[in-house]
Structure 1
Amino acid sequence: MTEVKRRPTHEEYIRGMQEYIDKLRTMDREEAKKISKEALIKAGVLDENGNAKENIVTGDFFGW
């Protein structure tokens, strides 16, 4: 049986982002930067070298 996951509400999403930011603020500055950079690479905002991508979303992502 396939498990159906519920999408978070926008309030839950914002709360999660605030908790993430609060956690980063308690960390060593360099460690927080490293974790943030890794998260942006994983999300596809930065390339594997840590540079901002010109196009974050391409047509291939949506099957265009």
Structure 2
Amino acid sequence: MKEPTIAECLKKAGLILNGQAAREEVSDWACEYVAADDPAVEDETVWEMLVYLSGFDLKDSPDAYLHTLEE
């Protein structure tokens, strides 16, 4: 698995903001890296963005996401 770039992470976040991708879809993509046994991510900024995106589909109630789009 190739290490993602910050540009790819920002593009995925933009897809959520523009309604072109579901939160769950982007979260699943990020989780592939975050949950890997030996993550192939050396860039700390990319890693932090992946961790953030991997939790973007978390809900704090049945009808509301923990993270708002403004965040």
Interval of TM-score (by shorter of Structure 1 and Structure 2): 0.3 to 0.5
Structure with the bigger RCO (C-alpha within 8 Å, sep 6+) is: 2
Q: TM-score, with normalisation over the residues of structure 2?
A: 0.31
The structure carrying a bigger strand percent of its residues is 2
Q: TM-score, with normalisation over the residues of structure 1?
A: 0.33
Bigger Rg, structure 1 or 2: 1
The structure carrying a bigger helix percent of its residues is 1
